[in-house]
Copies of this chain bind each other. A is one copy, B any other.
Amino acid sequence: MTNYLLPKILHGADYNYEQWLDYPEVHNEDFELMKKANCNVMSIGIFSWSKLEPKEGEFDFDWLDKLMDRLHENGLKAILATPTGSKPVWMSKKYPEVCRVDVNGKREPHGTRHNHCRTSPKFREKSVIINNLLANRYKNHPALLMWHVSNEYNSCECYCNHCISAFRDWLRKRYVSIENLNKAWWTTFWSHTFSDWDEIDPVDKSVHGLMIDWQRFTSDQTLDFFLTESAPLRNITPQIPITTNFMKPDVGLDYWAFAPYVDIISWDSYPTWHREEKNWEEAVKTGFYHDLFRSMKEKPFMLMESSPNVTNWQGVSIPKRDNMHLLSSLQAIAHGSDTVQYFQWRQSRGGEEKFHGAVVTHGGTENGRVFKGVKQVGEALNKINSVCGSSSRTEVAIMYDFQNEWAIAHSQFARNEEKNYQKTCISHYESFWKMGIGCDIKDFSCKDLTKYKIVVAPMVYMVRDGIDEVFKEFVKKGGILVITYLSGYVDESDLCFLGGSPGPLKELLGITVEDSEILNDFNKQSLIWNGENYNTSHFSERVHLTTAKVIAKFGDGVLNELPGITENEYGLGKTFFIASRNDQNLTDLFYGKLCNKNKLPEGISIVERFSGENRYIFVMNFNSESTEVNLEIDGLSELLTEKKEKNKITLEPFGVRVFKQ
């Protein structure tokens, strides 16, 4: 299989054709407008179960046949969804077991979406039946490009007997004996010792080992459901790639465990542009997410959903201004997406999402601002189709681990406000973003980091799955590893390391940590770098040296004169330990020195993709003002404008350029 689906960038949207069966004129208009918008793909069938199976066992594919044919006739491809994102009302009424049970033991009524029990045998049976029918019916249809399995799986919990029983089985597999489980969960605390598997109940929210395992089980069980409902697709259409659309992390699913089982990673990206004066901070976060999803398979991913304008589920969603729609679409491409897709093609007439942004608004003409913006993106994509399948080449990895995030969220520290694990990972990523240095994002299931030069691992609270050994191997072979406070606290069962933190990372870092120092506004503390003092906040640690040396000291506060940043030689490489949460300026300076590189002008992002000899340089301005950038591009052609550019270019507000070398 090549690195891409089609030899061009996909451009399309969720198309809810079935909502408009009474409006043939709307269908006609849709296909006219799709051409005008330069679309080549539509995601269809999401939430269509009650149309496909209006009564139990009575199926109606007629409308879907027509839709598939019409897409094909119009030169569009179909990303065909399985309909399990929302179950029909008749199913909830006849088989209550398909509805989840909440933490209070209450069976949820029919309503909303994305809320089936993952374990329910009946729901699995019904899902397999419908998916089988879909796969058999369309296996040879020329429009069928790809499977879109269900929609935005979540981790909302179900406490029904099926799920609790499956959880106990999952635990039996993991721990073999109840004694092992008691030890791993430290159940002597508060007298929670179990004498039988059947005593274990996930509603007990006071055993941290249980809590993290329940969250792992929920993620695993969701994956298991995905595999169950995908089996007919794999069997009947082995040639058709499968994806399921992920969401903004962290929703409580360990997407890394899903990655091997999907052919292409796809995700739904809904940044909140224009909410803050510094729009580029949202761009940093969005870039981090794109890079995370690209890194999962180290292959191009799909931007499966995005809004061409606003969302309707936030307190305030500002319409995309000026060139923002093009800019944000190309940002996804720059970070490795080979698609730009929207939710949704046309605004619904009714229901909760009728005012969500869409390509075609209720006004429905091609002359509107939003439609024109989409059309413009389509034209732009046509000019850069050659990036398809290209990849990044980066020497830096940022470690960001879902299970670590869950464990940090559960744990009760001296400071429970602003734990901010993900935010901290992004703040380290930000320093590289500002220098135009690409990063991969990796998690602790990673088995080899040796292809990187620099690995940054903030707040490695839970050392799981041998990541300590992977770190050692990496440094031994010459890598540079940066680790921070709150690292090496617990093992994969959330049990503290005897001997204290940083646990199994002590030798690697050449330090021991005596205890945490917690700060609030009345407890100032600073770190000295190059003679200047920089504020630290929230968390810091009292560090003692074993083999490391100090490269920055605290400048006041209770840690005055104690080590703030340490450096340790290890094998052919070295490690750094950062003992406090530092001012962003200091973080930038630290990585600037490490990489020996300067920052780009504020708000400017430069991201590259590579393909054989080719190099694509995306230059993006996330400022609402024109901004000048110096580049080494003398004589290169710019793909969008096809102009030759000099080394100094000026980007208009929210402007973007793509150079090919």
Which residues of A approach B to under 8 Å, CB–CB? 16, 18-19, 21-23, 26, 47-51, 54-55, 83, 85-90, 93, 104-106, 109-113, 183, 185-195, 199, 201, 203-209, 274-277, 309-319, 321-322, 347-357, 361-364, 368-370, 411-417, 493-501, 512-520, 522-523, 542, 558
Q: Is the CB of A349 within 8 A of B106?
A: no
Which B residues are CB-close (under 8 A) to A206? 111-113, 351-352
User: Is the pair A362, B411 in contact by a Cβ cutoff of 8 Å?
Assistant: no
A496 and B191 CA atoms in complex are apart in Å by: 47
Distance from A428 Cβ to chain B, minimum over Cβ atoms (Å) = 23
Is A190 in contact with B310, judged by CB distance below 8 angstroms?
Answer: no
Quick check: A498 and B87 within 8 Å, CB to CB?
no
Asked if A412 meets B495 with Cβ closer than 8 Å, knowing A111-B206, A191-B83, the reply is no
Contact assessment for A113 and B191 in the assembled complex, using a CB-CB cutoff below 8 Å: yes
Cβ-defined contact, A47 with B190, below 8 A: yes
- 17 A-B pairs besides A312-B412, A362-B500 with CB distance below 8 A are A16-B188, A19-B188, A50-B193, A51-B191, A51-B193, A54-B193, A83-B191, A88-B191, A185-B350, A206-B352, A275-B520, A277-B522, A316-B518, A350-B496, A353-B412, A363-B515, A369-B515
A19 nearest in chain B by CB position: B188
Q: What is the chain B residue whose CB lies nearest that of A311?
A: B414
Instruction: Give the top 3 A-B pairs by smallest Cβ distance, nearest first.
Output: A186-B350, A363-B500, A189-B351
Closest beta carbon of chain B to A623's beta carbon, Å = 13
* Nearest Cβ on chain B to A152's Cβ, whole angstroms: 12
Query: In the complex the two chains form, is B493's CB within 8 Å of A192's CB?
Result: no
Please, how many angstroms separate the alpha-carbon atoms of A520 and B201 in the complex?
A: 46
Using Cβ atoms and an 8 Å threshold, which residues of chain B touch A357? 414
Q: Which residues of B contact A26 (CB under 8 A)?
A: 498
Q: Are B515 and A370 in contact (CB under 8 A)?
A: yes
A205 partner residues in chain B, CB cutoff 8 A: 111-112
Q: A50-B193, A188-B18 are in contact. Are A500 and B86 (CB under 8 A)?
A: no
Q: A362 contacts B501, CB within 8 Å? A: yes
B203 touches A111 (CB 8 A): yes
Specify which chain B residues have a CB less than 8 angstroms from the CB of A414 in the assembled complex: 309-312, 314, 316-319, 355, 357
Tell me, in angstroms, the Cα distance from A317 to B513 when the chains sit together.
19
Given the known A-B contacts A189-B353, A274-B522, A349-B495, are A90 and B316 also in contact in the complex, defined by CB atoms under 8 Å? no
With A350-B186, A417-B316, A558-B321 in contact, is A106–B109 under 8 Å at CB? no
CB-based nearest B residue for A318: B518
Interface pair B50/A204, CB less than 8 Å apart: no
How far, in angstroms, from A110 to B83 measured CA to CA in the complex?
A: 38
Which residues on the B side are within 8 Å of A361 (C-beta)?
500, 514-515
Q: Are A319 and B195 in contact (CB under 8 A)?
A: no
Query: Across the interface, which residues of B come within 8 angstroms of A88, CB to CB?
Result: 191, 193
A309 lies within 8 A of B515 (CB): yes
Contact status of A350 and B189, CB under 8 A, knowing A112-B206, A276-B522, A363-B499: yes
In the complex, residue of chain B having the shortest beta-carbon distance to the beta carbon of A94 = B199
A347–B193 contact, CB under 8 A? no
Q: How far is the CB of A627 from chain B (nearest CB, A)?
A: 18
Q: Indicate whether A204 sits within 8 Å of B109 (C-beta atoms), given known contacts A189-B350, A199-B90, A312-B413.
A: yes
Within the complex, what minimum Cβ distance (angstroms) separates A515 from chain B?
6
* Complex contact B191–A48 (CB within 8 A): yes
- Residue from B55, B274, B368, B514 in contact with A368 in the complex, judged by beta carbons closer than 8 Å: B514
Q: Give the distance to chain B from A512, nearest Cβ to Cβ, in Å.
A: 7
23 contacts across the A-B interface (CB closer than 8 A) = A23-B498, A26-B498, A54-B193, A86-B190, A86-B191, A88-B193, A111-B201, A113-B206, A190-B352, A208-B354, A274-B523, A316-B417, A316-B518, A349-B495, A354-B411, A354-B412, A354-B496, A355-B412, A357-B414, A363-B512, A364-B500, A369-B515, A370-B515
Do residues A513 and B350 form an inter-chain contact, with CB atoms below 8 A?
no
Contact of A208 among B19, B190, B350 (CB under 8 A): B350
Q: When chains A and B are docked, how far (Å) is the Cα of A404 from the Cα of B368?
A: 28
Q: Is A368 a contact of B515 with CB atoms below 8 Å? A: yes
A188 surroundings in chain B (CB, below 8 A): 16, 18-19, 21, 48, 50-51
A207 to B352, CA, bound (A): 7
Q: How far is the CB of A394 from chain B (nearest CB, A)?
A: 33
